[in-house]
Amino acid sequence: AKCSPGSYADVHGLDSCKDVPEGNFQSEPGATGYMPCLAGSYCPAGASVPLTCPRGTFSAATDLSSARQCANCTLGHACQAGSISPAKCSPGSYADVQGLDSCKDVPEGNFQSEPGATGYMPCLAGSYCPAGASVPLTCPPGTFGNATALSRAGACAPCWRGHSCPAGSLLPVQCSAGFYADKLGLPECRPVPEGNYQNKHAAWSYLPCTAGHYCLRGSSAPLACPKGTFSSAFNLTSENDCIPCPVGHSCFIGSVSPLPCARGTYAPTPGSTNCTLCALGSAQPLVGQNACVECGSGTFANIKGRQECLACPPRTSSVGGASFCDICDDGFYRFDSQTPASPFNCIDCPSQSACSNDTTLASMVLHQDFWRQSSFTSVIYKCRNTPGKSSNCIGASATFLPSKRALEEEHRALTPVLGLEGVDTRNTDYCIEGSEGPLCELCTNLDQYFDQLDLKCVDCPSLGPTIGIAAILIICLVTTAAFIGMLLWRPPASLHAVSNWLKRIVVMANRMNVQAKFKIIVSFYQSWTALDTVYGIEIPAKWQEVFTWVSFDLGGFLLPWPCLGGFIAQLLTLGLYPFVLILVAVFALLVIQLVRRVCLQHWSSSQQKTADVLRPASAAAGESILPASWTDEDEAGPSKLSPLPPLSIQAGSAACAIDAPSRDETLVAAKEDPLNAPLSATPSGNSDVKMCALRNPDAKTHSMQHGVVINALMHKGVSIFIFVTYCLLVPTCRTIFSAWKCVSFVYWDSPERRISFLAEDYSTRCSGAGYERVLAVAWPLLVAWPVATPLLYILALVLSRQAITKRRPRYSRLARSITFLWRDYKPALFFWEALDIYRKLLVSGFVLFIDTEHGTDKVARLLFGLLVSVLFFAAQLIAMPYNKTSDDLLSCFAQLLLICCYIGGVAVKLCDPAKNACYSLTGFQSDSEASTVIVVTSLVMLAIPAAMMFDQIFFMKRTVTIRSVKTREPPHLSLSTGMLWNLFLSHIWSSGQDQMAVVKRQLQLLLPGIKVFLDVDDLIEIGDLETYIEQSNIILLFLSRGYFKSRNCLRECQALCDMSKPLVLLHEADMSKGGAPLDEFRSDCPSKLKMHVFNKREVITWHRVADFQLLSLKLILEHVVFNGTMFSSGCLPMEQPQEFGHRLYVPGELTRQPVYFKSRPIVYTSTNNPGAFACLSQLQLEWAASTLAQKKELTQTSARHAQIVITTKFPLSGEHNGVGFMYARSLQKLVSASGFGHRETSKTSVGSKTVQVAEAAEEVLAGATQSENTLCPPFEGSRQPSKELLPTCAIIYLNKETFIGETGDKLADEVRQLRHLGIPITLLHENDPDSGCEFATFFIVTPSDLIDDGLYNKIAVPLYPPPHLAVSAVMCAKELGSLSAVTTRRSFCNLLFACSISGQRQHREERNGRASSEDGFV
């Protein structure tokens, strides 16, 4: 068999065909061999046919046996099945892997232009590539492809606005300037239409053409309008659309609007491209002007193009159109026209003048009221002026000035002259006609003078009318003084009211210490008035006129000084007339003394016959009553006493006939005068007969010897000299110092030259013979006044030093004569007045020597015055020299105000109106404000003392005075011929000086106008004591320790005995204050005086407690008013109008107040308190007496309210002692028993237990309650009070038996129980010498537990013997609840509240065993 295809049998005999070996094939059957496999195929073993290589493979070999042996198709090629070799991929396809049977198409957005590519490329920008693209296709016009791999045309982006896109554009192309693309997808940009422009690229719009420009088609920028044109419109399309530039403006290229020419430039024509600069001397301050403005006066333009003309430098000016300043401005001047104008050469015009442009020194115009010495000086002085009046200085105006050239020629001609040869000192150029000289205050007519008030020259008054006016003034002054003296000393009956008013004014002035205030005010204003004349502080004229009275410039007020001869006459008059005034006053006193002497001699002779008839027996001639061992060492010491005449009772004199037994029978023929009237009487029962007073007929006793008169006048002259020179010292010294006070006036500026005139007389230059004559007069006056007069003051004070410091001026006539200098000061500072005088001389006189010519324009004097015042003020604050604190305060206040004045003066000096520096330096707006401060201080200095005196006057108006019971008016005192004093106070200095000063002061307060002689005030010569006694109506002897051992006191007693003067005894009972028992005084009194001094004479006890002292003073005044007045008239009535002590009264005094108990008090008195019951009984009598004195009768109603219920039953005893309550129903019995209504029977003290009162009180105690004795019902109802009713208060009567012995212990127990029950205890302290004792004793005898419990914390009511018992009774009633002493009291002592304090202090000190140191109730 044939071998099948794919087998073969190449030999025979094969049972089987052989398989074709690998790599071969046999397609034919029965083949004996095989063929190699075809290329592109493979043949396995036994292959009948070649098998093609699979797709994607190829093979060129022929021996392939399997498909694996086919090679893969290479990259970039494709291999079909059976491929012998790879086929390259066509463009647009690629084979990126092996074994591909076909190439792949390039995907969209890519392309492949090369065959056999193994890959592809992205489509190029600006193109697009569809699938299988062999090349990129460009984007259509109006689009762009800025990305690769675009697959289609629609993938190209539309072109942007402002861009153009040609075909195949990768990116949009920007439109260039001048083009635009307003839509998307434009293939090209459009040009900008005309009238618009686009200066930016990629624009999709265009801009309108700007103002000042025009735009062509496709303009990338506006084209500017040419020079000289402008346009404010938009969208211009051509150059012709621009507008030409107007005048005053300039237009540059592309001007939108015309540019106004700047300041300092101008444009005169249209179409100007530039502005022109202003020329020199002109300027243009505005813009857009077609011309420049010429510079005005005072301005200049020194360079071109000035926007404004420059102001000339300070002080300079110019004319119009000037390119520099060549003249001085308004308000400035230069020396002359040749002097270049500059800030240095142009000088401030004085404020008192007017300077226009181009003013020179010579052409300066002065204002009204101003003056200068010459036309070559700029120093201008203010003339004296008064509001409403024009001065003599008329100034000068341009219309009256000569030509400028003439003035300058005169100026140049006098330039070499530096002395006074070229200066007319009269200088009438600036004065009104008729005036000349400095400040136009000299009159060209010598018969005229310059009136400083009317500010003009007036005719001198004739001498005749002037003398007549002076005589009339002197007569008026003398008449007024005589009339006032008559009112004070001898007023007629029709003028008693005026006299009392005037006397009250005198008393008020003394009480207010007007002298000290007068000196303080005068000192202040004497220093204040120097501010104008010495310090140059201008005070308004109206105020200067007000205060010129302090200068005491009495000279020249009738005839002006220029009419009297000028300043020399003024110096002589002011320097000498005070001494003439002193001599005239001394001469007037001499005449008065001689007239008084003649009248006294005539009066003495008329009284001689009466004295001869009634003269008693004379004492032995030459018999002295003064023992040799008695001295006055207790008063002044032997070395200080002047020889005293021996005291003796001369034969033939009216000495006291003490030993004459018939004296009382002769003089006391009727009822004895209880007021110790002068020793004379008439038969009893004859009321029409009067007792005539005795007088000493010896003419030598009544008259003053010529030597005594001259001596007294000398000391009066010293007093007048002190007063007159004190008032005139400062103003006179100021006038004297004015001789060195010159006023200089500048007459040449550079170098400065001055001419000096005497400030007080401008007609006298401070050089030459005229001024030498002035100094020749001034030097002696300088020695006499500011040097010698204060030294005389100091010398007098030094000589009187011991008498002043010991306050014993009675032993130094000189000390009494100069009391004006030292009386107001403390003894240790008696020299203070001299210090104050030197202070005033320093600040108002000697200060003139500081810069004599220019001192008034500088502050050096003010600083000196301020320093002196501050030092004196500090010294015064430390020393406080015045006796009264109010005067110290006023003086310190005056110094403080004066310091303020000096400070204000410094402010005035610093206020320069020309520099406007017043406010910045001083705080004042002007110097007038500072002057106003000075004036206000002066007014305050007047207001303060006025307010002080007004306050004291108002107080004194409220102060009550003593009045007559009969007339209800102050009693009138009269002095007969030869009498000078109503009362003479005789006392010893060592123990009575202070109290006598109190007595005098209080008497003058109670009875204004009373004349009281007190040695410290009125004694001139101690050798004239008898004369003073003779000239006094009544004599008061103050009985204090050592009185009858004083030589001078015995002289006074002898004189009053010889002259039969009425006598009042005032007893100092306080042992700690120089008192002594009356028996001691009786024993000390010489036997020949004892009868007259002590014979049945009432002795008034002196008290220091207010209410008791008031009663003592009232008793003294009763003697003065009734005994003294009757004695001065020469006769005494026999019948007394009222009993002693009840003829005068003081409104509101305690003794005149009725006792009124609203609810009757129940008063407990212990039977263990000796005298307590009798004490209350006596007090009931006094209450009834007080009520009777006011009601005139003792009615049941008035008596009932003046009663108390007295009980002796102790509240806790439980027993009844038989008395129970003793109502005041037994008052009538007590009244009857005590003799009430007869005052002489009730003058025994409570302590002595008046027999009638004590017996009546014991009878009442023994008789229990008796309804039949009731004077008035005990209560308002008829019901009797319960016996168990507790007392409302208790009385402890403190006497020498209180708390003594067994009864004292019982009393102490009762007091403890009373205090335990809370019952008020009233202490009554007995001060009677017989039964009373010192209050300190009770601190010894009283149990200590009661003292510690405060028994004596309450002040005890003092009980004094009558008549002071009435005061004690009312004080006790006040303690018991009387309303009269609480709600109705308006007494003298309440107004003077210090009295109550002094009284309480006395009781408190008595309780503590000490004596009070108070001297009075004022």
Between 984 and 1243, whose confidence is greater? 984
Burial class (CB in 10 A: 0-12, 13-18, 19+), 758: buried
Q: Is 593 exposed, middle or buried (0-12, 13-18, 19+ CB in 10 A)?
A: middle
Q: Cα–Cα distance between 47 and 23 in angstroms, integer?
A: 8
pLDDT at 672: 32
Q: Which pLDDT does position 689 carry in this prediction?
A: 32
Residue/partner pairs of 1079-1083 with CB below 8 Å, 24 or more apart: 1081/1039, 1081/1043, 1081/1044
Can you give the C-alpha Rg of the chain in angstroms? 69
Q: Give the whole-angstrom CA distance, residue 631 versus residue 629.
A: 6
pLDDT of 1035 above 90: yes
Count H helices, E strands: the chain? 39, 69
- The residue with greater pLDDT, 322 or 498, is 322
d(CA 97, CA 117): 11
Residues 195-223 have a mean pLDDT of 89
pLDDT interval class at 1147 (50, 70, 90): confident
Distance CA 857, CA 908 (A): 10
Shortest CA distance to 2 belongs to which of 22, 27, 25?
27
Q: What is the pLDDT of residue 1401?
A: 41
Q: Give 640-659 as a 3 state SS string.
A: HCCCCCCCEECCCCCCCCCC
Cis peptide before 645 (omega within 30 of 0): no
Specify the DSSP class assigned to residue 591. H
Determine the pLDDT at residue 427: 65
For position 1227, what pLDDT does the model report?
Answer: 41
Residue 867: the pLDDT is 93
Structure tokens at 791: 């030294």
Token pair 């005048």 is found at 247
- Structure confidence at residue 856 (pLDDT): 74
Model pTM score: 0.54
For residue 487, how many other CB atoms are within 10 A of its CB? 19
H or E stretch at 497 = helix 496-511
pLDDT of residue 1141: 56
pLDDT the model gives residue 606: 62
91 — pLDDT class (breaks 50, 70, 90): very high
- Which pLDDT does position 330 carry in this prediction? 87
**Predicted pLDDT at 979:** 82
What's the pLDDT band for 1066 if we cut at 50, 70, 90? very high
| 990 within 8 A of 1043, measured Cβ to Cβ | no
pLDDT of residue 653: 35
Q: Are 186 and 143 in contact (CB under 8 A)?
A: no
948 versus 837: the higher-pLDDT residue is 837
User: Using an 8 Å Cβ cutoff, are 487 and 494 in contact?
Assistant: no
Q: Which tens digits make up the pLDDT trace of 377-424?
A: 888 888 877 767 778 888 764 433 433 444 444 444 444 444 444 445
Name which of 47-61, 323-337, 505-519, 1008-1022 the model is least confident about: 505-519
| Least confident interval from 246-260, 314-328, 509-523, 906-920 | 906-920
Predicted pLDDT at 919: 61
Using the predicted structure, report yes or no on whether residue 611 has a pLDDT greater than 80.
Answer: no
Which tokens belong to 542?
Answer: 């109206």
Taking alpha carbons only, the member of 379, 248, 313 closest to residue 743 is 379
Name the percent of the chain lying above pLDDT 70. Answer: 74
Mean of pLDDT values over 263-287: 89
Residue 870 has pLDDT above 90, yes or no: yes
Q: Which of 253-262, 642-651, 820-829 is least confident?
A: 642-651
Quick one: how far is CA 1228 from the chain centroid?
68
- pLDDT at position 1038 is 94
Cα gap 76→58, rounded to integer Å: 14
Tell me what pLDDT residue 89 has: 92
* 508: confidence class by pLDDT, cuts 50, 70, 90: confident
**Over 90: is that where the pLDDT of 986 sits?**
yes
Is the per-residue pLDDT at 1118 higher than 80?
Answer: yes
What pLDDT was estimated at residue 593? Answer: 74
Q: How far apart are the first and last CA of the chain?
A: 197
Q: What is the mean pLDDT of residues 786-813?
A: 83
- Are the C-beta atoms of residues 1271 and 1264 closer than 8 Å to each other? no
Question: What does the pLDDT look like over 1264-1288, one tens digit per residue?
Answer: 333 333 333 333 333 343 444 578 8
| pLDDT interval class at 1203 (50, 70, 90) | low
Reduce the secondary structure of 501-544 to three states and give it as a string: HHHHHHHHHHHCCHHHHHHHHHHHHHHHCHHHHCCCCCCCHHHH
1330-1367 confidence digits (pLDDT tens): 888 888 888 889 999 998 888 888 889 999 888 888 88
At 1181 the pLDDT is 78
587 vs 575: CA distance, rounded Å: 20
Banded pLDDT at 987 (limits 50, 70, 90): very high
Q: What is the pLDDT of the chain when averaged over all its residues?
A: 75
Query: Is the per-residue pLDDT at 1215 higher than 60?
Result: no
Q: With bands split at pLDDT 50, 70 and 90, how would you rate the model's confidence at 204?
A: confident
Among 226-230, 439-443, 575-579, 927-931, which stretch is predicted with the lowest mean pLDDT? Answer: 927-931
607: part of which helix (H) or strand (E)?
Answer: helix 567-614
Q: Report d(CA 407, CA 402) in Å as an integer.
A: 7
Average pLDDT over residues 37-58: 89
The Cα–Cα gap between 879 and 871 comes to 12
- Lowest-pLDDT range of 772-786, 963-977, 1385-1399: 1385-1399
What is the structure's pLDDT at 1212? Answer: 52
Report the percent of the chain where pLDDT is more than 90. Answer: 12
Residue of higher predicted confidence among 65 and 497: 65
Convert 315-354 to b/e letters by CB count within 10 Å (16 or more is b). bbbbbebbbebbbbbebbbbbbbeeebeeeebbebbebbb
At residue 3, does pLDDT exceed 80?
Answer: yes
Q: Tell me which of 586 and 416 has the higher pLDDT.
A: 586
Length, in residues, of the chain: 1418
pLDDT of residue 934: 72
pLDDT given at position 704: 43
- Compare 648 and 794 and report the one with higher pLDDT: 794
Residue ranges with strand state E in 87-192: 87-88, 93-94, 104-105, 110-111, 121-122, 127-128, 137-138, 143-144, 157-158, 163-164, 173-174, 179-180, 190-191
Annotate 1017-1034 with DSSP letters as a single string: HH-S-GGGHHHHHHTEEE
Q: How far, rounded to the nearest angstrom, does the alpha carbon of residue 870 sit from its chain's CA centroid?
A: 17
CA angle at 195 for the pair 193 and 196, rounded to the nearest 5°: 65
- For the cut 50, the answer to whether the pLDDT of residue 536 exceeds it is yes
pLDDT for 619:
37
Which of 147-151, 712-716, 1167-1171 is modeled with the greatest confidence? 1167-1171
- The four Cα atoms 1128, 1131, 1136, 1140 give a dihedral, to 10 degrees, of 40
Residue predicted with more confidence, 60 or 663: 60
